[in-house]
Structure 1
Amino acid sequence: MILSWRRRRAGRRANKNSVNDDIDGTEMEITIPTHFRCPISLDLMKDPVTLSTGITYDRDSIEKWIESGNQTCPVTNQVLSSFDEIPNHTIRRMIQDWCVENGSRGVERIPTPRIPVAPRQVLEVCERIGMATRRGDGVKCQELVGKIKAWGKDSERNKRCMAENGTGYSLCATFEAFSSSSSTEKHVSLLEQIVSVLPWMFPLGVEGQALLGSSSSLNCIVGLLRGKDLSARQNSVLVLKELLSLDQRFVNSLAEIEGGLEALVGIIKEPICPSATKAALTSIFYMISQSKTCEKTRLRLVEMGLVSLLLDNIVDGEKGVCERALGVFDEICNCKEGREKAYENALTMPLLVKKILRISQTSSEFLVSVLWKLCKNEKRNDEGSVLVEALQLGAFQKLLVLLQVGCDERIKEKVTELLKLFNLHRGRLDCSDSSMDFKYLKRPF
């Protein structure tokens, strides 16, 4: 097997006056020894491991092979009696020595791989966390959670291994125990440490969900959301979003917690990062579409000024943020108060019409739904109505294009109804736009 390594500029490694260093940009052909190559990828092994059949592979390649459902050795085709991957230190040292020997020709030394965490180690740490929790030893718990966090930072494989071996339940049990204790403030750093790790552990088991969704745990998460630590706020909203997606009863519980809605709106009002904003919008969407008190929740959100915040995010937000903001806006427009706030904002109609076909298919469907609700429920039919404004902004043409490119049947019905409403005013309005060239169709959706 031949691998091409581009030779580095001689001046970077040696004296510029050295001879034979004037061949910049040439490629040096270096033969990789066969036993240094992974039989699956045929690339130089970075972390060689040996299976029960005695064949050595690169860890990443053989793990992907096994995770795909294969139970045989790729080379011998023998059924694996064990899936244990034993590090082959001898081959690894030989590969590293070979890299060093060829360093002058541009071959970089392969770093010593970190040994992945084993299920046995995970179970041991979980047991120790449980014992420390029962003793009320927050310091020891924080030390052990820090170890879990360090393992997770090493690799995605470690995260999967921990999630599959009960770490999520152990963390939820510890979080619930210390959030319901009388000295919660004393253990804030531990609770913040746990929520920084919990996003790796979803979906949790039934017992873990019950612990994290308890009244004390939810109140604690809301408390962290309202805190000053930006990292804790970000991690908390990510955990909350995952939890609400699991069961509607958690949505109902959160709706009853004082300050929960304000905390979520605060994440949108003072954004930390796109992922936190998306998580907050998703959580709000669950609360206004699934909770028992969704109508009351919508009204509260309108009073908090959410409509203006949503429009701001639709203007400046990335694709994911825009889609979620439009989803929430669509739900807000189900109530009269939400529509009234939308009518009052001068940005509403120009933004809705402009964004059709410009973000994604999902966004366009939300935009049509919002436009349909605003136009159909408005009682004014004079020259200043939103229906006339949308028509003058070119909504008629964009909806025709949307029908041509295709959309969901439910949305198609709304588009058809909107076109009929617009058609009533087209005869007496100059609503054509000769400059419209539909450049927005080039955007992916």
Structure 2
Amino acid sequence: MVRDDLYITVPSFFRCPISLDVMKSPVSLSTGVTYDRASIQRWLDSGKNTCPATMQVLQTKEFVPNRTLQRLIQIWSDSVNRRRDDSPEESTHSVLSYDQVKDIVKVRDIENDDFLCNLSKIVSFAKESDMNKIFLAKLDGFVSMLVEIMSNVKDVNILEKVVRVLELILNKIEDQEQLTNLMLKKSTTNQDCLNSLLLVLQQQSLDSRIGSLKILEFIAIDAESKLKITEKEELLSEILKSLSSDPDRRLIDAGLSCLISISMPKRVKLKLINQKIIIELKKLITDPNSIVSISEKALKLLEMMCSTKQGRSEITIDSALVQAIVHKMLKVSSVATEHAVTILWSVCYLFRDQRAQEAVTSGNGLTKILLLMQSNCSPAVRQMSADLLKIFRVNYKSCLSSYDTKTTHIMPF
């Protein structure tokens, strides 16, 4: 099988600004811009008298061969050929030109034995540069071709390649709603796209699983799309598994981002609570090796679960979880602090849960809240902290005197 990581990077200045292919005979105009001879000759023969890149009017239509650049391209080309000779596998995976990509999209011959190889080449083409990603995202029919494949093909190898390509160009797709419509709303057969993403999520390829999660996050743009995604119980379960089934932090981070994106509707929150998401989130925030982004997102999801009665009950019944949230108030980042304080404010102040209040007190939460109020926290955090102190009816002086450190100068306001 062709490896995805064997691809050739073409230096951008080796490409002709007109054809975007590697120049065979580079020549420079009077403006100093270099083009492939055949491309610029066609431009000038069409009657134009401007430089295509700068649109400056040319003082002369004469051009000069760029010998230095031609030598550099030749050296680079020889190096590529040597690499191909050394690696038979890589020789089948050379970089595509823009025209070759267009031909693949035009033909769309999924039954062709070379189609999987072509998809691998497109993955490498997308990896090569942002310019290539933009080209693919804007290429007429390309995104719809990927969706068509996902809707009709069950071959896992092909689906994984399609997911990899689509994930690479997601941020270059200007019309997010259009992609969502293609994958979810345009016709009932396109529901198979979700089945295809589920199939990829169930595989061992880490990059493809991450790509599937990012695609799901990208197309969850409104309540309708979020509900359609989560209607598939297997798919929701597989997304949740990403938090625990693999130790790779990238997969966990992508899983959390996806869950945040799809969890706005109350119905989805209840499904996740029933599938024990709070237990998984507790593991993440109590993990001493958890990275900042994972802690922030895990707390964000706990905050979202707090908006339901069932979520608050699951959180407050576990005093160790409440104390872990208290611990995160000052230990991670300002984002994590805001999420943690919001959770505590919700269960202790807004809904006056006695168990949560006791857990905060036993976890030295009052001292942490006082310290937090003296820090450079946001106005919202400061106000929620003040509300929490009112609930606990803190005697500020006695509280501080029981705090056995030299920081007795701290005052709550």
Tell whether the 8 Å contact from 1:176 to 1:211 is kept in structure 2 after alignment: no
Partners of 2:230 and 2:33 lie apart in 1 by 55
User: What residue number does 2:137 align with?
Assistant: 163
Counterpart selection for 2:160 from 181, 184, 192: 192
Whether 1:288 and 2:263 are equivalent positions in the alignment is: yes
Distance 1:95 1:344, change over 3 A: same
Counterpart selection for 1:234 from 210, 228, 236: 210
User: What residue number does 2:250 align with?
Assistant: 275
Partners of 1:272 and 1:399 lie apart in 2 by 32
Counterpart selection for 1:127 from 92, 96, 106: 106
Structure 2, gaps ≥5 residues long? 1-12, 14-23, 37-49, 84-93, 185-189
Partners of 2:281 and 2:395 lie apart in 1 by 28
Counterpart selection for 1:251 from 203, 226, 242: 226
The one-letter code of the counterpart of 1:230 is L
Pairwise mapping of residues 22-421 of structure 1 onto structure 2 (< 5 A)?
53=30, 55-56=32-33, 79=56, 90-94=67-71, 119-129=98-108, 132-133=109-110, 137=111, 139-166=113-140, 167-178=142-153, 184=154, 187-202=155-170, 203=173, 205=175, 206-213=177-184, 214-244=190-220, 246-271=221-246, 273-289=248-264, 291=265, 293-302=267-276, 305-312=279-286, 315-376=288-349, 377-380=351-354, 385-391=358-364, 394-402=367-375, 405-407=376-378, 409-421=379-391
> Once the 2 structures are TM-superposed, how far is the Cα of residue 267 of structure 1 from its aligned partner?
0.7
Distance 1:432 1:292, change over 3 A: closer
Tell whether the 8 Å contact from 1:299 to 1:338 is kept in structure 2 after alignment: yes
Distance 1:321 1:210, change over 3 A: same
Distance 1:142 1:96, change over 3 A: closer
User: Per chain length, whose mean CA-contact separation is higher, i.e. which structure has more relative contact order (CA < 8 Å, sep 6+)?
Assistant: 2
SS of the residue corresponding to residue 424 of structure 1 reads coil
SS of the residue corresponding to residue 367 of structure 1 reads helix
- What percentage of residue pairs aligned between the two structures are identical? 17
> Once the 2 structures are TM-superposed, how far is the Cα of residue 420 of structure 1 from its aligned partner?
2.0
Tell whether the 8 Å contact from 1:122 to 1:165 is kept in structure 2 after alignment: no
> Once the 2 structures are TM-superposed, how far is the Cα of residue 285 of structure 1 from its aligned partner?
1.4
Partners of 1:369 and 1:235 lie apart in 2 by 31
Distance 1:297 1:411, change over 3 A: farther
Tell whether the 8 Å contact from 2:328 to 2:337 is kept in structure 1 after alignment: yes
SS of the residue corresponding to residue 394 of structure 1 reads helix
> Once the 2 structures are TM-superposed, how far is the Cα of residue 417 of structure 1 from its aligned partner?
0.9
The one-letter code of the counterpart of 1:170 is M
The one-letter code of the counterpart of 2:216 is L
Distance 1:357 1:56, change over 3 A: farther
Partners of 2:51 and 2:330 lie apart in 1 by 50
The one-letter code of the counterpart of 1:234 is I
Partners of 1:52 and 1:169 lie apart in 2 by 39
> Once the 2 structures are TM-superposed, how far is the Cα of residue 165 of structure 1 from its aligned partner?
1.4
What are the superposed Cα offsets for residues 249-299 of structure 1, whole Å, 9 maximum, x if unpaired? 32111110021221112110123533322221111112322x362342343
TM-score (normalised: structure 2): 0.70
Distance 1:253 1:269, change over 3 A: same
Partners of 1:58 and 1:274 lie apart in 2 by 45
TM-score (normalised: structure 1): 0.65
User: What residue number does 2:19 align with?
Assistant: none
Distance 1:342 1:256, change over 3 A: same
Partners of 1:364 and 1:386 lie apart in 2 by 18
- Number of corresponding residues: 347
Superposition CA RMSD, Å: 4.1
Partners of 1:287 and 1:77 lie apart in 2 by 45
The one-letter code of the counterpart of 1:249 is E
